Every structure is written in C-alpha cells, then in structure tokens.
C-alpha cells in the first residue's frame, strides 16, 4: 500500500482532539464587532495575567514602531475605529499591514495595545459598558475549557483579524516574525517507548529553533499538519510556517509508541506538553505528534494535535 497525505491523516485515529476550540472560535465569530472586542478584553483580563511579562520583548516590538507611533497620535475615536477595522477585516492601510505580521507579531501588537488601554494611551473600554448576553455566553463557554484551549481560542481570534492578504495585492512589506531568546541548553529528554532517531532529532531541532534542521528530516513531498488546520505540504512551505509559528516553543515529549506498518513505513505517536514563550511554564499544552515515516526514515507526515484532556496523553493505541 502506498500512502497519500489524505490517508496519512488517519493514523492513530482514536486520538481525541480538543474540539471545543473550533466550536468556541465559531461562537466568537458570530458576535458583532464591538462584542468581539469586548469579549477579548474580558477574556484577556483573566488570561493576560499569566503572560510572561518579558515575552513580547523590546526588540520585537520595535519592528512595529512606525505603526505604534501612528496609533499614539490618533484620537480615542480613531483608535476604537482602528480596532473595529482589524476585527472586521476591513481594507485599511493598518489592517493590510497587520495581515502581513507573523502570528507572534499579531499577538505582540495586541499585547501592546492592551497595555496602553490599561494606561489610557489607547481608548479603553467605555465606562459603564454592559456586557450583552451573547458576550456572556461566549465567555462562559471559554471558562468551561482548560487554559491551554483558552489561549488557543484567544490566539485564533487575533490571527484571523486584519485584511485578508489573499485578497490584497502581495506587493506588501515582508512578514514580521518575532524571535524569542532561548536558554542556552535545550531541555534534555527521552521518550518512553520511542527511540526512532528522526523523531528525536525533530524535537531536538525544534527546541533549538533550528527549523532548517527540522525540515531536512521531511521527505520532499512531506507534510506537517498543525492543530485544527489542513496539512502544509513541501519543505519550503513547512519552513516558512515553522519560522513564523515555531519560534521559542519548548517541547517536552514524554511517552510514545512505534510500529512498523507496510512496505517499510513506520508510525510513531508521541505525547507530552508544549509551552509557548508567551506563557512559559504557566501553561503546558497537552499535545500529540502523529508521525508517519517513509522507508528512508524521512517524515512523510506529522500531525500536531491539541488533546481534548490530560487523559489523552496516555492514549497510545494504534487504531
């Protein structure tokens, strides 16, 4: 049997992923724009406290200095309009620039705005604001899920803002990517049940932000499937994705299972936690990596799943 990316997606198919994340993100998307901004403010008031203060980093924020200076010059009405434009994907110059920010730059942008909202430099939530029943319902839904799922919802909302670059002309500025400082030593690890060198090298390279080394482990037509997304196919596309999304992640795999299937292909499921530089050790996301290696030992497919519950860390069944 030969694999296709489509059939590879079904390996270890009993893995339970955190479906509450897309469900809650969809509830959020139905709110009107002002309710969306209000929801984010209240959700962030809770979660923001666990953000590692050093995470955005001065050097990273300097990359957006021009836009920040413009925002500081605006009246509160203009600032509020800017936030509405971003949330409603309106076609404005700042909304277009935002669409070309990398994921971490988008998060950093809002982090800075949030800090300035607290200080009154950027228009705060209107005094006496009354939360609508719709906002309350989404907030309650978010409170029911665990913290790692909550930060994923928050992240998704911010990522989807701005003017969709697929509609804009692509002659815009380069993508702004953040870099995060690393402790000089990557975490030492062994994975109980998995000794496959390709899997170990993948984790090691990712823990050093060495994306070239990580991608060299993939087959030419290999694919990486991020949580709740379609597979990203080919080395070039995977490299661009990891440079944007993989910076500063700390991966702590613990357990796994390996199996030779047919025609020399092997499959490996590894579970453990992943920390983002934004929340450091405060939030450990429960993650599974489902690898399919070709007969040459190259990664033909790897899915990264955000697991439904910590119990899923122990689900290493093969079906």
- The least distance separating ligand EQ3 from the CB of residue 192, rounded to whole angstroms, comes to 18
How far is residue 162's CA from residue 93's CA, in Å, rounded to a whole number? Answer: 10
Residue with Cβ nearer ligand EQ3 (3 or 110):
110
Task: Out of 31, 142, 158, 293, point to the residue binding ligand EQ3 (CB under 6 A).
Answer: 158
- By CB under 6 A, the count of residues binding ligand EQ3 is 30
- In the complex, minimum distance from the CB of residue 61 to ligand EQ3, in angstroms, rounded to a whole number: 12
Which residue of this chain has its Cβ atom nearest to ligand EQ3 in the complex? 114
∠ CA(138), CA(143), CA(99), 5° rounding? 55
226 binds ligand EQ3 (CB under 6 A): yes
- Taking the complex as a whole, the smallest distance from the CB of residue 303 to ligand EQ3 amounts, in Å, to 10
Q: How far apart are CB 155 and ligand EQ3 at their closest, in Å?
A: 4
Q: Minimum CB separation from ligand EQ3 for residue 203, in Å? A: 8
Q: Which two tokens stand for residue 315?
A: 């689900």
Reduced to 3 states (helix: H, G, I; strand: E, B; else coil), residue 258 is: strand
232 binds ligand EQ3 (CB under 6 A): no
Q: Which of 18, 20, 31, 40 binds ligand EQ3 (CB under 6 A)?
A: 40
Cβ nearer to ligand EQ3, comparing 68 with 110: 110
The token duo for 265 is 């292909």
Count CA atoms closer than 13 A to 76's CA, side-chain side. 9
Does 37 sit near ligand EQ3 (CB under 6 A)? yes
Q: How far is the C-alpha of 271 from the C-alpha of 110, rounded, in Å?
A: 31
Q: Should residue 110 be labelled a site residue for ligand EQ3 when binding is judged by CB under 6 A? A: yes
Q: Is 67 in the site for ligand EQ3 (CB under 6 A)?
A: no
User: How many C-beta atoms lie closer than 10 Å to residue 307's C-beta?
Assistant: 23
Nearest-angstrom CA–CA distance, 290 and 259: 12
Q: Which of 34, 46, 146, 245 binds ligand EQ3 (CB under 6 A)?
A: 245
Residue 276 near ligand EQ3 by CB under 6 A: yes
* Measured distance CA(289)–CA(129) in Å, rounded: 43
Backbone region of residue 117 per phi and psi (left: phi > 0; alpha: psi in -120 to 50; beta: other values) = alpha
First to last CA, the chain: 17
Question: Is there binding between residue 287 and ligand EQ3 (CB under 6 A)?
Answer: yes
Q: Using CB under 6 A, which of 274, 288, 292, 307 touches ligand EQ3?
A: 274
Q: How many Cα atoms occupy the beta-carbon half-sphere of 153 within 13 Å?
A: 30
Q: Which is nearer to ligand EQ3, 105 or 107 (CB)?
A: 107
Q: Does 227 bind ligand EQ3 (CB under 6 A)?
A: yes
What is the chain's length? 319
Between 88 and 170, name the residue whose CB sits nearer to ligand EQ3: 88
Residue 272 near ligand EQ3 by CB under 6 A: no
The two three-digit tokens of residue 86, written as one number: 């971003």
The yes or no reply on residue 99 touching ligand EQ3 (CB under 6 A) is no
> Which two three-digit tokens encode residue 21?
């994340």
CA distance 286 to 297: 26
| Residue 185 DSSP SS3 | coil
- What is the contact surface with ligand EQ3 in residues (CB under 6 A)? 37, 40-41, 44, 83, 107, 110-111, 113-114, 117, 151-152, 154-155, 158, 206, 226-227, 245-246, 249, 251, 274, 276, 278, 285, 287, 304, 306
């Amino acid at each position: 049997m030969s694999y296709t990316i489509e059939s590879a997606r079904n390996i270890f198919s009993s893995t339970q992923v955190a479906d509450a994340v897309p469900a809650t993100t969809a509830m959020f998307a139905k709110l009107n724009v002002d309710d969306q901004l209000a929801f984010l403010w209240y959700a962030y008031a809770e979660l923001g406290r666990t953000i590692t203060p050093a995470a955005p980093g001065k050097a990273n924020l300097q990359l957006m200095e021009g836009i920040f200076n413009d925002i500081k010059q605006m009246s509160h009405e203009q600032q509020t309009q800017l936030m509405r434009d971003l949330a409603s994907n309106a076609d404005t110059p700042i909304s277009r620039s935002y669409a070309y920010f990398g994921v971490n730059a988008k998060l950093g942008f809002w982090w800075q705005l949030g800090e300035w909202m607290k200080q009154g430099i950027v228009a705060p939530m209107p005094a006496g604001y009354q939360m609508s029943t719709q906002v309350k319902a989404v907030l309650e839904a978010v409170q029911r899920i665990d913290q790692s799922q909550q930060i994923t919802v928050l992240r998704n909302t911010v990522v989807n803002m701005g003017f969709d670059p697929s509609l804009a002309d692509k002659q815009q500025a380069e993508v702004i990517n953040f870099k995060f400082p690393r402790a000089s030593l990557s975490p030492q690890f062994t994975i109980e049940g998995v000794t496959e060198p390709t899997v170990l090298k993948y984790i090691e390279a990712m823990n050093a932000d060495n994306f070239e080394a990580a991608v060299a482990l993939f087959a030419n037509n290999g694919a990486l499937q991020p949580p709740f997304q379609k597979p990203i196919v080919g080395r070039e596309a995977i490299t661009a994705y990891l440079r944007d999304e993989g910076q500063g992640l700390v991966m702590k795999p613990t357990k796994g299972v390996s199996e030779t299937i047919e025609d020399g292909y092997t499959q490996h499921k590894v579970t453990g936690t992943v920390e983002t530089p934004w929340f450091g050790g405060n939030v450990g996301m429960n993650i599974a990596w489902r690898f399919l290696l070709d007969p040459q030992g190259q990664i033909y497919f790897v899915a990264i799943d955000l697991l439904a519950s910590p119990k899923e860390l122990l689900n290493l069944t093969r079906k």
